[in-house]
Homo-oligomer: A and B are copies of this chain.
Amino acid sequence: MMNPTSIPDPGSAIEARFLASLQSVLPTQRPIVLHEPLFKGNESSYVQECIDTGWVSSVGKFVDRFERDLAEMTGSRHAVAIVNGTAALHVGLKLAGVATGDEVLVPALSFVATANAVSHCGATPHFVDSSDSNLGLDPQALREYLGIVAERTGDGLRNKSTGRRLAAVVPMHAFGHPVDMDGLLAISRDFSLPIVEDAAESLGSLYHGRHTGTFGICGALSFNGNKIVTTGGGGALLIQDSALAQHAKHITTTAKRPHQWAFFHDEVAWNYRMPNLNAALGCAQLERLDAFVAAKRQLAQRYQMTFANDPDIRFVAEPPGCRSNYWLATVALRHPSIELRDKLLAVANDTGLMVRPAWTLLNKLPMYQACPSAPLTVATQLEGAIINLPSGPAVALGVGS
């Protein structure tokens, strides 16, 4: 897609330095993937227990335990296991009252699931800018933007141009770095705007000592194979309100009223339950979460030291007052350039060190091009700047030990 001849050669020095920096941190084996799962605990025995007992499906002790463990580890009052992160976010938006015809404010710099979950509600994503420091939604920019485009009505906040209700805002804790929640909570209060957190990448990340995903009406987690812990495929909602948590469980399990035999379902609902087989894997993985976070933070520190004096590349460190899980360790070009970024991606991937860029900004994707959008100055720069580095638990534990 890029034409190399049109790019002023930034000096192969950058590429060589980037590669040398990675090599100085990482073990010598090749390839090193971006983030592989690690199963060295009770995964086999818990999964085998499901097969031995026949409890692999909709109900079972591992689903209950997974929810309890998650709640305890995150300090959330409730956790509801769900079939995957996209489904969790979909349900979370429903819980926040997002309905057909609404708009939902989401960062343009996010994985496509953030916008798709909005679409699945029949609503329209409305893109907003990100912060250069934590890579997540920028509350200051959002406040200024809402001052211009939004008006408060008896029926909530509205987009003055489209007339549609602005039903919620979805901060996404990118690569495990917590969003500025104080700034966002103030906006939520001032504009009566519900927060649904996309915490898919931030299990183990704390904002001012409190776990990401527990600030909004609810927070969606993901346990996809590339996440800090995995259930194969899976997700969850962290919820503080008991009635809301019960409702989340109800509508993710076909809204069936309990009865010895009768099939009576009392609202339109989903089959979004996490199978017990997957929860079994998750229970074993959660037992390793603290160790994984510690190791990944050590790995991140090594990366940070290595890139400390690089004139062209900065390491993205955890925001002040926060603990990041460093799901994916991240560097950013000081002078954003998609061309240079792609050269660095190529040189590393070609030597067996798997690195990746941030997502294509969501407002550039064909199905979201016509959606409303704030100015995306910072997000556009970040798109041309971000490179995620190998960060898997096996690599991290190897480097840390």
Contact = CB atoms under 8 A, between A and B. Distances in A.
B57 A51 contact: no
A199 B211 CA distance: 43
Contacts of A100: 122
Nearest to A60: B225
Contact of A275 (B44, B232, B264, B269): B232
A324 to B, nearest CB: 21
A205 interface: no
A86 interface: yes
Contacts of A254: 112-113, 116
A271 B87 contact: yes
Name which of A43, A254, A271, A367 has the most chain B CB atoms within 10 A of its CB: A271
A355 B120 CA distance: 37
Interface string A23-40: 000000000000011110
A366 interface: yes
Contact of A116 (B54, B120, B230, B269): B269
A52 to B, nearest CB: 8
Given A232-B275, A278-B275, A367-B266, A54 B83 contact: no
Given A54-B39, A57-B224, A254-B112, A270 B232 contact: no
B357 A58 contact: no
A276 B273 CA distance: 17
Contacts of A233: 57-58, 83, 271, 273-275, 278
B365 A265 contact: yes
Contact of A270 (B54, B86, B226): B86
A102 to B, nearest CB: 14
Nearest to A39: B51
Contact of A51 (B43, B86, B113): B43
A356 interface: yes
Given A51-B281, A233-B271, A266-B367, 10 more contacts: A38-B54, A56-B225, A56-B281, A57-B226, A83-B84, A112-B256, A116-B269, A116-B270, A263-B358, A266-B365
- The 10 residue pairs across chains A and B that have the minimum distance between CB atoms: A57-B225, A232-B275, A232-B277, A233-B275, A86-B271, A263-B359, A56-B232, A112-B265, A119-B268, A261-B356
22 contacts: A37-B57, A44-B51, A47-B47, A51-B281, A57-B225, A57-B230, A57-B232, A58-B224, A58-B233, A83-B83, A84-B271, A86-B271, A111-B263, A112-B263, A233-B271, A233-B278, A263-B357, A263-B358, A266-B367, A275-B278, A277-B277, A278-B278
